């Protein structure tokens, strides 16, 4: 019987995304068996796959890494010796069991042959003839067993290698899957994969990341202060922030399904840096403490309090997958205390900021990822859209993600290179940069909104299958929303954020 592989692992083996492979399953190009695909079917669907093709995947990953400016925790991507030894041991045990089974079948066949030989000596002609025919059939079948195609051998070898390098986590009841690289904790790997798993301190103190191991083997990566009861330990409960996966595991864990399930938090973060991609736009990067990460959904906002100034609400421009790093885009507004302060910070690398939140409903839900997504950003309204796009791409959506970024001529697209890098890295991502005449207030006229709508209709003739996310100043966002509604788009397909 052909080996079954999870969709995540199969996608990685053939150098595609999970979303792209899921789409081919939905299209009936490859069968799936309870979320798994047969290795033989995979070889037929991707006949040209070879070990060297993984270099393409690595290249794409490097581009993604660069495009996202992700700052990793500094941990090595390679598993530690103990984890490696456990994985090699597991594979060796599997091999030993497989050899034992093969040897048992071989003994069984020898016994069958000798039984048939005995029957051929039977006094009844019918029995002897039937035994002879059966013996000939068995000999034919044994000598005509299917052999592995080179591509299947290649896939099995790659799969074994991948199982040593990374373990897979299957989450119930959601059915989400992700890979744990190196010695990453289950929580870190889940967040990097875009899952909204329950957690609090990410440091072994609060117990909010408690989950239950259903099958597989974990390894504790840190001692934790939170005490699990004996009964919990007995039933397989563990802390996701303090354990890594040694083998492929199935875990029962809580995940937030919508923004209402994310608790309000208050965190003191540090200014990591302030960049100025344009004289009139500041990109503020904050880092939360190791023991207190902000839990939020892509597209949400927080209140920032800095240097005693009144709290200032801003959309988060980074993705929840980006570890403890938070990013905000601030347009220059002379006379605005907050803007003035940030623009005077220049390249400051320290300073405390109080964060309260998250808030807002400008978020992607799981069902949105099954539909083409159109993002319309006006100027620095790009910030929450950047977060949403990073999240969607991180979840490997196979549907089209199209960004229309309208920017005033005087300012341009301050992170245009990053958008072009996304377009290079992802087949499913399209980027349209639009320059508009701007007024001093950085608002956009009717003309721009109408032109944008005409462009959108010309490029997406059936908007009814899409979800549209619009973010920017009140006037163009409201105008664009009303044009979309007049054109028959359902209100449930339009998401707006005044930024």
What is the binding site for ligand FES (CB under 6 A)? 199-202, 204-209, 226, 239, 241
CB 415 within 8 A of CB 67: no
List, in order, residues 6 or more apart from 99 with CB less than 8 Å away.
none
CB of 363 to ligand FES, least distance (A): 22
CB of 295 to ligand FES, least distance (A): 10
Beta bridge partners of 234: none
Strand (E) or helix (H) holding 214: strand 210-215
Q: Would you state the structure tokens that stand for residue 81, as one six-digit string? A: 């010796």
| Residue with smaller CB distance to ligand FES, 163 or 208 | 208
Residue 181, φ and ψ in degrees, nearest 5: -95, 150
With vertex at residue 401, the alpha carbon angle to CA 257 and CA 30, rounded to the nearest 5 degrees, is 80
Report the candidate in 445, 453, 446, 488 with the shortest Cα–Cα distance to residue 470.
453
Q: Would you state the structure tokens that stand for residue 72, as one six-digit string? A: 């990793």
Calpha distance 466→405 (Å, rounded) = 17
| Residue with smaller CB distance to ligand FES, 99 or 290 | 290
| Residue with smaller CB distance to ligand FES, 201 or 302 | 201
CB of 199 to ligand FES, least distance (A): 4
| Residue with smaller CB distance to ligand FES, 323 or 379 | 323
CB of 322 to ligand FES, least distance (A): 17
| Residue with smaller CB distance to ligand FES, 267 or 470 | 267
CB of 77 to ligand FES, least distance (A): 22
| Cβ-count burial 457-483 (b if 16+ within 10 Å, e if not) | eeebeebeebbbbbbbbebbbebbbeb
Residue 482, φ and ψ in degrees, nearest 5: -70, -35
| Residue with smaller CB distance to ligand FES, 27 or 229 | 229
Q: Say which DSSP state 381 is in.
A: G
List, in order, residues 6 or more apart from 71 with CB less than 8 Å away.
322, 323, 325
CB of 198 to ligand FES, least distance (A): 8
| Residue with smaller CB distance to ligand FES, 87 or 208 | 208
Calpha distance 396→428 (Å, rounded) = 9
CB of 245 to ligand FES, least distance (A): 15
| Residue with smaller CB distance to ligand FES, 207 or 381 | 207
The pairs formed by 45-52 with CB atoms below 8 angstroms and a separation of 24 or more are 45/14, 46/14, 46/16, 46/151, 47/151, 48/151, 49/13, 49/14, 49/15, 49/151, 49/154, 49/155, 50/151, 50/154, 51/154, 51/157, 51/158
Residue 393, φ and ψ in degrees, nearest 5: -70, -35
| Residue with smaller CB distance to ligand FES, 22 or 243 | 243
CB 394 within 8 A of CB 423: no
CB of 185 to ligand FES, least distance (A): 9
| Residue with smaller CB distance to ligand FES, 210 or 402 | 210
Strands 237-239 and 210-215 come out as antiparallel
CB of 75 to ligand FES, least distance (A): 17
CB of 222 to ligand FES, least distance (A): 10
| Residue with smaller CB distance to ligand FES, 186 or 452 | 186
Report the candidate in 296, 351, 335, 360 with the shortest Cα–Cα distance to residue 496.
360
CB of 194 to ligand FES, least distance (A): 18
């Amino acid at each position: 019987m052909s080996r079954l592989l999870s969709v995540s692992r199969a996608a990685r083996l053939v150098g595609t995304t999970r979303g792209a492979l899921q789409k081919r399953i939905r299209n009936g190009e490859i069968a799936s068996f309870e979320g798994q695909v047969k290795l033989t079917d995979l070889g037929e669907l991707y006949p040209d796959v070879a070990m060297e093709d993984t270099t393409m995947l690595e290249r794409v990953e490097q581009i993604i890494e660069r495009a996202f400016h992700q700052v990793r925790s500094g941990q090595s991507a390679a598993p530690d010796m103990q984890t490696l030894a456990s994985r090699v041991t597991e594979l060796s045990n599997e091999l030993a069991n497989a050899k034992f089974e093969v040897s048992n079948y071989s003994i069984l066949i020898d016994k069958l042959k000798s039984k048939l030989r005995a029957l051929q000596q039977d006094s009844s002609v019918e029995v002897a003839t039937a035994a002879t025919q059966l013996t000939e059939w068995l000999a034919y079948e044994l000598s005509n067993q299917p052999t592995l195609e080179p591509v299947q051998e290649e896939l099995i070898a790659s799969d074994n290698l991948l199982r040593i390098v990374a373990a897979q986590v299957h989450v119930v009841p959601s059915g989400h899957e992700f890979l744990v690289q190196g010695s990453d904790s289950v929580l870190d790997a889940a967040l990097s994969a875009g899952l909204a798993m329950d957690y609090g301190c990410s440091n072994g103190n609060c117990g909010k990341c408690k989950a239950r191991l259903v099958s597989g083997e974990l390894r504790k990566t840190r001692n934790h202060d939170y005490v699990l009861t004996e009964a919990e330990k007995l039933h397989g409960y563990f802390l996701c922030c303090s354990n890594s996966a040694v083998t492929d595991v199935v875990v029962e864990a809580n995940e937030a399904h919508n923004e209402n399930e994310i608790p309000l938090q208050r965190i003191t973060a540090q200014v990591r840096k302030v960049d100025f991609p344009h004289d009139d736009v500041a990109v503020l990067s904050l880092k939360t403490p190791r023991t207190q990460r902000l839990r939020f959904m892509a597209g949400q906002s927080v209140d920032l309090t800095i240097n005693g100034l009144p709290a200032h609400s801003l959309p988060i421009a980074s993705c929840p997958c980006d570890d403890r790093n938070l990013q905000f885009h601030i347009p220059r507004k002379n006379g605005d205390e907050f803007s003035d302060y940030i623009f005077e910070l220049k390249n400051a690398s320290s300073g405390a900021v109080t964060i309260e939140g998250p808030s807002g409903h400008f978020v992607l839900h799981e069902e949105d990822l099954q539909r083409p997504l159109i993002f319309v950003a006006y100027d620095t309204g790009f910030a929450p859209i950047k977060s949403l796009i990073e999240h969607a791409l991180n979840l490997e959506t196979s549907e089209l993600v199209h960004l229309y970024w309208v920017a005033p001529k005087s300012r341009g697209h301050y992170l245009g290179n990053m958008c072009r890098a996304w377009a290079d890295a992802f087949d499913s991502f399209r980027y349209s940069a639009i320059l508009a005449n701007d007024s001093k207030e950085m608002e956009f006229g009717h003309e721009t909104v109408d032109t944008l709508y005409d462009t959108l209709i010309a490029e997406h003739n059936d908007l009814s299958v899409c979800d549209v996310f619009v973010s920017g100043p009140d006037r163009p966002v409201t105008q664009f929303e009303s044009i979309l509604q007049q054109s028959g788009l359902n209100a449930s397909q339009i998401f707006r954020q005044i930024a």
